[in-house]
Amino acid sequence: MKRRLVRLLNENPDSAHNAGSPRRSSAQDSELLDAYSAAVSGAAEKVSPAVVNIRVFHARQGPHPQTPAGGGSGFLFTPDGFILTNSHVVHGASKIVVTLLDGRRFEADLIGADPDTDLAVIRIGTAGLAAATLGDSRALRVGQIAIAIGSPFGFDYTVTAGVVSALGRSLRSVSGRLIDDVIQTDAALNPGNSGGPLVNSRGEVIGVNTATILPAQGLCFAIAANTARYIAGRLLHEGRISRGYIGLAGQNIVLPRRLVRFHQLVPEGALLVASIEHGGPADKAGLREQDVIVAWDGRPIAGIEDLQRALSETRPGAVVNVTVIRGTEKLQLQVTPSDRPIRR
């Protein structure tokens, strides 16, 4: 019997190794989970001091002249009290009250709002505050970690995590204008998350949470950080955004290198015209669907953000030379932006 046992053991030399392998696999899984948890908790700890809860009040007649009218979230992006949030969160507010992570409350002033991108800047009268860092949304990749922080249904400083599901989406704002270059994520958002930050694993703000599609689950959207940075800068200087309107929707594309070399283009990125409003300035100028816009008044257009910035800096009524690629041909068209029509 003893010789038989020795022979069986010799026939299965890896038996001890195989017995231990599930434990090593489980340990590896635990390490991965710990790394993910550490990334999420680290980013949340870094950003949470800059996240604020916002309550708004509307003026009413009667014994209660100011009535609570909901609220949302926001985040400090400068240490001297400037806060980014959604335009729809503070729209029509007669009073805005901001609560910080440490419980302090301040009444905030509205600096400016842009319903076209659903962004607004408000300010509280204090300094030396923790401020979030705005990251580069152009560096985003589908599948990377996305962490949302806000106050859904009044539950302060709630953290949810997921991934960047898609880039370059478009949403229609309350003003009727398409908000381009929107980030889609499955990090859960609920009423009250609006205006809060969407951050990456390094704790950098990559977007401003703005919307969900109900009753769908996992379809949540944020305004890209690069758009938010530009709009916030304009609101700080001017208090509002006035922009030319040409009546088209587009999406970012990467041009084939042979086309870039042939036409001696500077950026490889460009804007593909996805649709054109009938009778609008783009239509009158002769732009067509599937045209590729590569320059605006001699200035390279590498994507939607560049065109939006160019329109924001163009006075309505000014004639602008637009360079487009149609098929393999490069054309020069003249477009006259107008004031954006009011949608009812």
Are both 66 and 150 inside the same structural domain?
yes
Tell me which of 176, 211, 241 is where a domain ends: 241
pLDDT at 324 over 60: yes
Q: What is the mean pLDDT of residues 72-94?
A: 94
Would residue 92 count as lying in a domain? yes
Are both 116 and 144 inside the same structural domain?
yes
> Which among 313, 314, 317, 319 has a CA at the least distance from the CA of 335?
319
Segments forming the whole domain that contains residue 89: 25-241
pLDDT at 129 over 60: yes
Would residue 5 count as lying in a domain? no
- Reported as a pLDDT band with limits 50, 70 and 90, residue 3 is very low
Would residue 8 count as lying in a domain? no
Please answer whether residues 300 and 306 qualify as being in contact, where contact means their C-beta atoms are separated by less than 8 angstroms: yes
Q: What is the mean pLDDT of residues 179-193?
A: 85
Q: Residue 296 has what pLDDT?
A: 95
Q: Mutual orientation of helices 225-238 and 304-312 as an angle, nearest 10°?
A: 10
Q: Residue 175 has what pLDDT?
A: 66
Tell me which of 241, 264, 289 is where a domain ends: 241
Would residue 155 count as lying in a domain? yes
Q: Residue 343 has what pLDDT?
A: 52
Are both 46 and 131 inside the same structural domain?
yes
CATH number at residue 331: 2.30.42.10
pLDDT at 25 over 70: no
Are both 38 and 68 inside the same structural domain?
yes
Would residue 120 count as lying in a domain? yes
Catalytic residues: 88, 118, 194
Q: What is the mean pLDDT of residues 228-251?
A: 89
Q: Residue 180 has what pLDDT?
A: 76
Tell me which of 241, 267, 297 is where a domain ends: 241
Report the domain count for the chain. 2
Are both 256 and 229 inside the same structural domain?
no
- Of residues 320 and 27, more confidently modeled: 320
Would residue 33 count as lying in a domain? yes
Are both 125 and 248 inside the same structural domain?
no
Would residue 60 count as lying in a domain? yes
CATH number at residue 79: 2.40.10.120
Are both 260 and 117 inside the same structural domain?
no
Rg (CA), the chain: 26
Are both 215 and 331 inside the same structural domain?
no
Q: What is the pTM of this model?
A: 0.68
Are both 39 and 167 inside the same structural domain?
yes
Are both 268 and 232 inside the same structural domain?
no
- Of residues 192 and 63, more confidently modeled: 192
Q: Residue 341 has what pLDDT?
A: 66
pLDDT at 36 over 90: no
Are both 237 and 301 inside the same structural domain?
no
Would residue 102 count as lying in a domain? yes
Are both 61 and 195 inside the same structural domain?
yes
Please answer whether residues 77 and 231 qualify as being in contact, where contact means their C-beta atoms are separated by less than 8 angstroms: no
Q: Residue 29 has what pLDDT?
A: 64
